[in-house]
A and B are shown apart, each in its own frame.
Chain A
Amino acid sequence: NAGVTQTPKFQVLKTGQSMTLQCAQDMNHEYMSWYRQDPGMGLRLIHYSVGAGITDQGEVPNGYNVSRSTTEDFPLRLLSAAPSQTSVYFCASSYSSTGGWTEAFFGQGTRLTVV
């Protein structure tokens, strides 16, 4: 049981490049989400999904795209990287998004630098 797996762990991009951060969970969780963590700002929600085929925006969605074709996978796409997207990115998943909340389980994070 791997939990939440994020790849890559580190990435350096040039401004304007695109890339996809991968996130997979093997706990059959319905709810998955992406956060970015910047110094002094806690974690901010980028996008989330309440189930396969359903996604929605969080607090800071601009410049990012997501899709949820399966329960297990929730990739985050950077369309045209900008230095302001330099951050640590976390994927998280949890049980049912409606009947009751359980704690979110986090991946190990991706440290992204845009130069």
Chain B
Amino acid sequence: EDKVVQSPLSLVVHEGDTVTLNCSYEVTNFRSLLWYKQEKKAPTFLFMLTSSGIEKKSGRLSSILDKKELSSILNITATQTGDSAIYLCAVVRVQGAQKLVFGQGTRLTINP
């Protein structure tokens, strides 16, 4: 059975801290891994990772995929209160059609 596991499930830090969110997967026919940020409503796209070892960056956020370890991390540096959200990891598997398998999400809270 396909599985995507995120850790920690919940994290509370102070503004300015650096955080690392983890995502590990056991998925057959892996194609890519995606990170989403979910505030009050719909998840919004952050990164898509297909190749191992290549870091994707956007401002204070960065992510990297390790296909050998079947995992990915999402780093956020110099956190701000606006980074408070649920961060979702999802893996694209291809078996006939492509499907997204989501992890449970990490709830990140940034305190001022």
Assign chain B's interface to a size class.
20 to 34
Q: Is the interface of B mostly helix, strand, loop or mixed?
A: strand
Determine whether the beta carbon of B97 is less than 8 Å from that of A97.
yes
- Which of these binds chain A: B14-22, B37-45, B51-59, B60-68? B37-45
Q: Tell me, yes or no, whether A50 is within 8 Å of chain B by CB.
A: yes
Determine whether the beta carbon of A40 is less than 8 Å from that of B42.
no
Determine whether the beta carbon of B32 is less than 8 Å from that of A101.
yes
Q: Tell me, yes or no, whether A43 is within 8 Å of chain B by CB.
A: yes
Determine whether the beta carbon of B42 is less than 8 Å from that of A90.
yes
Known: A97-B97, A101-B48. A43 touches B102 (CB 8 A): yes
Which residue of the partner chain A has the closest CB to B105? A42
Q: Tell me, yes or no, whether B92 is within 8 Å of chain A by CB.
A: yes
